[in-house]
Each structure stands twice: as structure tokens, then as C-alpha cells.
Amino acid sequence: MLPRRDKCLSALFITGVTCLFSSMAHAAYEYNLTPPASTLTQEIFDLHMLTTIVGTIIMALVTGMIIYALINFRHAKGAVPDQEFHNGWFGRWAWVLVPVIVLSIDLTIASSASSTLSSVESHDKADVTVKVIGSQWKWTYEYMDDDIKIVSNLKKLEPTDPLYLRDVDDPLVLPTGKRVRFLLTSSDVLHNWGIAEIVPKKINIPGYINETWTNITKEGTYRGQCYENCGTGHAFMPAVVRAVSPTEYEQWKVTRKAQQAQAAAEASADKVWAKAELMAKGEAVYTKNCLACHQANGQGLPGVFPALAGSKIANNSAALAEHIAIVVKGKAGTAMAAWGPQLNDLDIAAVVTYERNAWGNTAGELVQPKDIKAAR
């Protein structure tokens, strides 16, 4: 029979360990790196587990030694300090021994890391190439081999929704089992397109192009976000990838291209649009692209983003050309982006019309796509 105290202790221990494991079982990955869903991230995940385990063992050793010392070398226990300890053989050789042990652990880790690093940096031929452009505060995806462009904006949800800050209106669609290359860049400040399940991160730098890649192994939706501080909207830049089978991917491409062609035809026609049409379209464009900074009520954020309601540009008939120019070309040195390359003539015409007629603005002009074409 065990003594009573030991029984209590072992019961406690067993309960504790069971609790730990049961809680880990159903939420395993909330404590760890997200489960990998590509060949490359799987390799990285294994590397991560290697260093974690080595680290845990080292911590156990250090903690063990300290606890042993605390128990045995106490003044209260009458321990007598060994004033010559550092002069013994151990004292004379420890400064070599310990570094050699640490070095060998280091080299084990470094060699395994180095080979994974070569996989990350391999530049094999890709099946699909996507250019990922970060801008304040959304992602734009351009398929380099197909004429497809996706603009991914935060989908506004309540803070109680499971997908709060994790969902976008238009995700990137990719095929599984293909090598996908990402070219990363930015149109304004540094951003960092990160989805841990499928890619190792590289930052998006304005004026430069970085590269990373994936080969997704499982269909599904993968969520990440911006990891480089990019200012006001940094917390509101989710990145979502929908991975589908190659056949579904091909079908999706066909439908998508048809939709885009239709929208483009509509925008470039020299059609003259009525006010109601322009206002409705303008509000949609505004909500998607401008609202994050200039706010729903057009008041902006004082000192940070200028108000459009009653502004010297948007509410002044003499300043129409200036208004169009700032939307098309942006304003250097501020968060105001150049929308010319991102929106078509119709969208810009509509949003400028909307801004001049909403929130009590009385400038009143209707701007047509052909005006924008002329201003570009």
C-alpha cells in the first residue's frame, strides 16, 4: 500500500495530465502552429517541432539542475561553500565542454534548417503565377497567365462572429496539387501577405518584387492576414485563399473571365449614365474602397484622413478637375492611393459623382466614364 500522501499526489498528477491531454486533443492546433496544408509548410512544421522538442529538453535540464542546486546547496541546510570548486578539473574545462555541447546541438538544427531553406528558395517552374499586391488596406491578386484580377476587401462582421476579421468579399482561388508561385509587391507601404497553412512569409515592398510559393495538398479555405504594420487599417486586412480541385479551378476561371469581360465592356462604352445609376454604383465603390479611411458619413478622421463632406475639393464646382485627378493619381506621401490603375473608368466616374452629391455636398456634377478616360 502506498502511504496516503503519495496516493493523493498521484491521483492529482493523473487528473492533471488527463485534463491537459483532453483539452489539447480537441484544440490541439490552437496551441501550436496552424496545421500545414502544403508540401513546403509541412516541411517547415516538422522543423518547428524539432526545435520545440530540443528546446523543451534543454529547459527541462536547466530547470532540473537549478532545482537540484536549490535543494542541496542551501545555507539553511548547513551547506558549506566549496571555495575551490572553480579550480577543479571541471572548472578548468567547463568553458570548452559546454560550448562544444551547445555547438553540436546548434549544428544539428542548422543543417536541417538549411535544407528546408533551400526548398523555400527553390525556383522550379510554376504552374500558376499570382501577383499579390498589398495596398492600404486590401489585397489585389493578378493571375499572370490569365487576364483575371481579384480585389479582396475585409468583409464587415460583428465582433462576435467566428470569422470576425478573418473573411473577405472576394477570396483568391487556387488549384490543389499544382505549384503556385506568388510575386509579392505593394503599392504604398510595407505589407506582409501571410497564410501560415500554405506559405512561408515574405514581405510586400513597394517598388520591389519578392517571391514565395506553395503546393497545396488539401482542398479548403485558408485564412491569414497582413503581418507588417501598415498603419491605421493594419488589423483589418485578412487574406483568404480558397483551394479547389484543378477541374473546378478551370471552370471557375472560365466563369470569372466571362464576368470580367462583361463588366469591362459596360465600363468602356461611351454610354451616358443617369444620376441614379451613377449614385448607386458610386456608393458601392465607395463602400468597398474608400470607406475605411473617409468613413461612411464622409467625415474622415480628423487630423488623419480628410473629410469629404463639405470639402474644398468635393463640394466645389471649380475643383472638379482636381477631384478627378486626386482620385486617379492619388496624393504622394499620404495614404491616399492612386485608384487609376485599380478601378475602371465607370467606377471612378461613379464614385466621384457620388462624393460630389452625398452627405449634403452640393457641387452636383455628373461625371461620365469618358471624362475619366480623358483625365487619365
Partner 1 sequence: MSVATTHDHHHDHHGPPRGWQRWVYSTNHKDIGTMYLFFALFMLFFGGAMAMYIRAELFMPGVQLASPDFYNNMVTDHALVMVFGMVMPAAAGMANWMIPMMIGAPDMALPRLNNLSFWLLPAAAILLMLSIVAPYIFPDGGTPVNTGWTLLPPLSVQNGIGMDFTIFAIHTLGVSSILASINIVTTILNMRAPGMTMMKMPLFVWAWFFTALLLIAVMPVLAGAVTMLLFDRHFGTSFFDAAGGGDPILFQHLFWFFGHPEVYVLLLPSIGVLGLVIPTFARKPLFGYKALVYGMGILAALGMVVWAHHQYTIGMSLVATNYFMIGTILISIPVGLMLMNFIFTMWRGSMTFETPMLFGIAIILMFSFAGVTGVMLAVVPADMQYHDTMFVVAHFHYALIPGAVFGLYAGVFYWLPKWTGHMYNERLGQIFFWWTTISFNLTFFPQHFSGLAGMPRRIVDYSIQYTEFNMISSIGGFLFGLSHLLFLFIIIQTIRGGAKAPAKPWEGSQIGTPGLEWTLPSPPPFHSFTEAPVIK
Distance CA 352, CA 331 (A): 16
**Residue 69 beta carbon to partner 1: minimum distance, rounded to whole angstroms:** 5
Distance CA 273, CA 250 (A): 35
The nearer residue to partner 1, 16 or 246, going by C-beta atoms, is: 16
Kindly tell me which residue out of 179, 191, 223, 281 binds Cu ion, with binding defined by CB under 5 A. 191
320 belongs to the binding site for Cu ion (CB under 5 A): no
Instruction: Decide if 35 contacts 220 (C-beta within 8 A).
Output: no
Residue 253 burial (C-beta neighbours within 10 Å; 0-12, 13-18, 19+): middle
Distance CA 221, CA 172 (A): 10
Binding mask 192-231 for partner 1 (x = CB under 8 A): x-x-x---xxxx-xxxx-xx------------xxxxxxxx
For residue 38, list its beta bridge partners. 216
Residue with cell 452625398: 358
Distance CA 143, CA 228 (A): 23
The nearer residue to partner 1, 297 or 362, going by C-beta atoms, is: 297
For residue 134, list its beta bridge partners. 139, 186
**351 grid coordinates:** 464614385
Ranges within 209-238 binding Cu ion (CB under 5 A) = 226, 230, 237
**Residue 141 beta carbon to partner 1: minimum distance, rounded to whole angstroms:** 19
202 belongs to the binding site for Cu ion (CB under 5 A): no
Ranges within 240-299 binding partner 1 (CB under 8 A) = none
Distance CA 44, CA 46 (A): 5
φ/ψ of 62, rounded to 5, equals: -60, -45
Closest CA to 375 of 312, 326, 317: 326
Distance CA 305, CA 233 (A): 12
**Residue 192 beta carbon to Cu ion: minimum distance, rounded to whole angstroms:** 7
Contacts 24+ apart (CB under 8 A), 48-53: 50/109, 50/112, 51/109
Kindly tell me which residue out of 39, 42, 120, 316 binds partner 1, with binding defined by CB under 8 A. 120
Segment interacting with partner 1 (CB under 8 A) among 13-21, 245-253, 255-263, 331-339:
331-339
Kindly tell me which residue out of 148, 189, 319, 326 binds partner 1, with binding defined by CB under 8 A. 189
338 belongs to the binding site for partner 1 (CB under 8 A): no
Kindly tell me which residue out of 39, 42, 48, 300 binds partner 1, with binding defined by CB under 8 A. 48
Kindly tell me which residue out of 8, 20, 258, 304 binds partner 1, with binding defined by CB under 8 A. 304
Kindly report whether the peptide bond that precedes residue 137 is cis, defined as omega within 30 degrees of 0.
yes
**Number of residues lying near partner 1 (CB under 8 A):** 97
Kindly tell me which residue out of 89, 162, 247, 270 binds partner 1, with binding defined by CB under 8 A. 162
The nearer residue to partner 1, 128 or 184, going by C-beta atoms, is: 184
When CB distances are held under 5 to 8 angstroms depending on the partner's kind, the choice from Cu ion, partner 1, none that residue 338 binds is none
The nearer residue to partner 1, 201 or 373, going by C-beta atoms, is: 201
Neighbours of 371 (CB within 10 A): 18
190 belongs to the binding site for partner 1 (CB under 8 A): yes
181 belongs to the binding site for Cu ion (CB under 5 A): no
**108 grid coordinates:** 544539428
Segment interacting with partner 1 (CB under 8 A) among 113-121, 126-134, 253-261, 270-278:
113-121
109 belongs to the binding site for partner 1 (CB under 8 A): yes
